[in-house]
Structure 1
């Protein structure tokens, strides 16, 4: 009903006018989660991403804060991709009054369907655990809140998903156009191009989304970005380099061979969407080449199993490499010895499986899910290996283990870390510093301003400097909660850029180190 009334209003009285194109930075600013941006256009408010904060408790508490804008006042919501740090607050957003479409690539719609339901299940489980703990404690503190959102809320959000294929231009209003461009990060990931006609000029604002590393055997490389006036660009790995694919694969083989060869078990915390599928592809290649000792592999994540089914539904996103594999009769996500464990009972049976074996389980940062039980069962065994192949957010359990903390607290228990702990750089679905710079260099004309976001401060400031040094770009690391008038002749914004360039920001980051430097090694 809300969308119909909007169209009728535009047809009868024309779009509402605003004095300027304004951008509100509501998340993923000087950190890597909680992605959310709101654009004020002449025809209404457009939100790009509605993501969940993850990691440190101080960040996760932000998920409970009131929304800066009433959900009922947002006219459009666009998702760059399905990862929960970009989509995970949409159920709460819908529950609190958002009534319009949630626009995303078709593959993102299918992935969000299962991921939002899974996230709601986690929210409900966490709330039930907090309630039980409160009752055991004699109810001496304030009653814990209920879940952040429920399965019913997630289902309501899923019902509002509306698919938009890549490169299809849609007129959201007479003066607002939208296009999604393949970002090459995960299945269905998109760079979002927004064009706004303001009087006799058109302003273009582009959100990079998460930019893929390229050379993925599964999905296509990122498309070149369009000419744009203003760019909001991620910087997750803006201060470091990844191992190249061949070196990464060889290191992966060597690490697995070492542990499997001594009859040890390998536990790999893996993001359910993207990372698990890439690991299955890599294990399939190694198994076909007989490059590893005999082993059994378990995918112990219902979400990852469901996501793999979604991958099979969207060959339009596949790279030429995987399409050729499929044409030759090979299933890139299956091989002899692979077991998918769907139920809790099947998951428990893994503990009784004879070694050696490999377990892929979620969550990738070890902050939830079945991976915590596998860590309890294997961290204290010096014959086993915990292998990190994904980004570990600040203060997450995964980050603590990777950085050498022992003991660590898991599900109320203190667990000593005696297993070997390794990390492989290069499986990341994010572009590294050089990949980000190549993506920026492909823009036909430099933007009037680039806002560097979606990175911890060290990475964002380092990448801002790289843009300035290599391209002479006008770049700014904005502040969380800030609002910027994006008029090209905005002198206040120009002054803000100049002031940040002159400030001593370098205390917040260190220069980039080549991959292999232990202090910067990041999966």
Structure 2
């Protein structure tokens, strides 16, 4: 066996790994798009969005979850002639068409007929799998390959993939694991413990070879109570500034977690003032992302996948993903009107808008209109990759704090001064931190023979390697 990386080996985007089972057969795990500094534009580029590796031998694709950096090259994969199954969790099978329809409109074409043909073709490839059940993937080159997905706690439907390869090719049953088998585990993206809405991930029973993400491999997050208190403090500060609090957020995962936490803060402090003459109960939360709204509906339909805390919240009659203080913006006209209104009035409110790294999406228009106003606050709650406007805003805010110099940010072809206050809460990342990743590995009963560290910047990969080596 061999593992070939077609993306995500040295950075946090473009995840795409090929498990070679035999000379003529392999399985692809994820097929993500490169973003930020990693992003290429055309064929021949190291980080091209096109499929520039052979696919004739690829028998199937395992999708760990539906974030674009793990699924965004699927349209190009199908366009290159891939006709194998796409194995994924049952929730991911519902979410993937929504995510890729939006991605195709933004990055490839707005031709409705072409988009519908692609979505129809992709749906035919989907093979939804329940968590925790072995599935016979196939027999190639004398090797039986079975697949099992386990909850990863990252976003709804996220999974880590266990691939069991039996070299004897004797039609081994799903339950007849042998010592001679090789179990290869691809972590996908692992969630942090106590992530809102989702149960914590549990380590696998066995992993001879572990391909492990390292997004936050060199640092630790705040705890759940710390990050919730920090979120409360940031909201209070923003409202005292009498301007808008802008939160760039990915449409799937982060938006729903933020809504859950903000609803909890409103419920806890309902009778208190968040700022002078502004009770928590009157705080307006604007959610401006049509995709996020559609995905939130799926989250609500799949409550059986929520954790116990979230289910108890619902049992109290509360609606953590749809509450009266929310204003949802769907049409582009309403979006433009909201941006213009906030620019004129600087009304205190919270705006959660796509996209998470400020490289596109409706958050860009809010930033262009409001980041030059010192009454505005910006809050980052997720990883900002090198080369993205989100990372540039964070770094510019740090430079401003040291030198007092106002720095302009390039957005959508223009240059805009950054006068807004900038905050960051790493605890709301949907990724496990160093401690969580080490504990995941330590929880495997028999230590892996090999660990391949991927999906991280160089410092993060080195940090995780050192932490694992020490143990």
Q: Under TM normalisation by the shorter chain, which class is it?
A: 0.7 to 0.9
Instruction: Report the Cα distance in structure 2 between the residues aligned to 1:158 and 1:342, rounded to whole angstroms.
Output: 25
SS across alignment from 1:97: coil
Report if aligned partners of 1:180, 1:192 keep a CA contact under 8 Å in 2: yes
Q: Distance in 1 between matches of 2:370 and 2:328?
A: 20
Is residue 69 of structure 1 aligned with residue 58 of structure 2?
no
Q: 1:321 aligns with which of 309, 319, 322?
A: 309
Which whole-Å CA distance do the structure 2 matches of 1:243 and 1:453 have between them?
Answer: 23
Aligned residue for 1:124? 108
The whole-number CA distance in structure 2 between the counterparts of 1:209 and 1:30 is 15
Residue 358 in structure 1 maps to residue 359 in structure 2: no
Q: What does residue 266 of structure 1 align with?
A: 245
Q: Retained in 2: the 8 A contact 1:55–1:367? A: yes
Matched, 1:397 2:389: yes
Deviation at 1:316, TM superposition (A): 2.7
Contact 2:355 2:363 in 1 (8 A): yes
Matched, 1:190 2:159: yes
Q: Map 1:97-246; keep pairs closer than 5 Å.
A: 97-124=81-108, 152-174=117-139, 175-199=144-168, 201-246=180-225
1:387 aligns with 2:379: yes
Asked if structure 2 preserves the Cα contact closer than 8 Å seen for 1:124 and 1:150, the reply is no
Q: Deviations over 1:457-478 (max 9, x none)?
A: 11001111111111xxxxxxxx
Q: Does 1:51 align with 2:39?
A: no
Aligned to 1:87: 71
Q: How does 1:474-493 map to 2 (within 5 A)?
A: none
Rounded to whole Å, the distance in 1 between the matches of 2:241 and 2:454 is 44
Partners of 1:269 and 1:439 in 2: how far apart? 29
Shift of 1:68: 1.4
Aligned to 1:451: 452
Structure 1 residues 323 and 58 mapped into 2: Cα distance closer, same or farther (>3 Å)? closer
Distance 2:189 2:133 in 1: 20
Query: What are the Cα deviations for residues 168-187 of structure 1, in whole angstroms up to 9, with x where unaligned?
Result: 11111241110001111110
Query: What is the CA–CA distance in structure 1 between the aligned matches of 2:230 and 2:249, rounded to whole Å?
Result: 17
How far residue 152 of structure 1 moved from its aligned partner, in angstroms, is 3.9
Q: State the SS of the aligned residue for 1:408.
A: strand
Moved beyond 6 Å, runs of 4+? none
Q: Distance in 2 between matches of 1:284 and 1:273?
A: 17
SS at match of 1:364: coil
The one-character-per-residue Cα deviations of 1:81-131 (angstroms, maximum 9, x if unpaired) are 010100111111011101121110011111111000010011136x99xxx
Query: Deviations along 1:288-311, whole A, 9 cap, x unmatched?
Result: 122534321111001111110110
CA distance in 2, matches of 1:152, 1:431: 37
Offset at residue 277 of structure 1 (A): 0.3
Partner of 1:462: 463
Higher mean displacement: 349-358 or 165-174: 349-358
CA distance in 1, matches of 2:214, 2:84: 31
Residues 267 and 38 from structure 1, CA distance in 2 versus in 1: closer, same or farther, beyond 3 angstroms? same
Contact 1:183/1:211 (<8 A) preserved = yes
Q: CA deviation at 1:435?
A: 0.7
Check 1:241–1:57 CA distance in 2 against 1; reply closer, same or farther (3 A cut): closer
Deviation for aligned residue 1:439: 0.8
Which residue of the partner structure matches residue 277 of structure 1?
Answer: 256
SS at match of 2:78: helix
Q: How far apart are the structure 1 equivalents of 2:124 and 2:68? A: 17
Aligned to 2:369: 377
SS at match of 1:233: strand
**Aligned-partner Cα distance in 2 for 1:47–1:316:** 29
Q: SS of the counterpart of 1:159?
A: helix
Q: Distance in 2 between matches of 1:217 and 1:113?
A: 24
- Matched residues in 2 for 1:75 and 1:389: separation? 37
Cross-structure match for 1:312: 300
Q: What TM-score, normalized to structure 1?
A: 0.79
What is the count of residue pairs matched by the alignment? 428
Structure-2-length-normalised TM-score: 0.87
Question: Could you report, residue by residue, the CA deviation over 1:339-389 in whole angstroms, capped at 9, with x for unpaired residues?
Answer: 111110111121315511111001100011111100011111001101111
**Which deviates more from structure 2 when the two are superposed, residues 205-214 or residues 286-295?**
286-295
Distance 1:421 1:375 in 2: 12
- Matched residues in 1 for 2:448 and 2:54: separation? 28
Q: Distance in 2 between matches of 1:414 and 1:205?
A: 47
Tell me whether 42-51 or 92-101 shows the greater mean CA deviation.
Answer: 42-51
**Is the contact made by 1:81 and 1:104 (CA closer than 8 Å) also made in structure 2?**
yes
3-state DSSP class of the match of 1:285? helix
In the TM superposition, residue 336 of structure 1 has moved relative to its aligned partner by 2.2
Kindly state the Cα deviation for residue 58 of structure 1 after the two structures are TM-superposed: 4.9
> 2:334 aligns to what?
346
> What residue number does 1:429 align with?
430
SS for the counterpart of 2:230 is helix
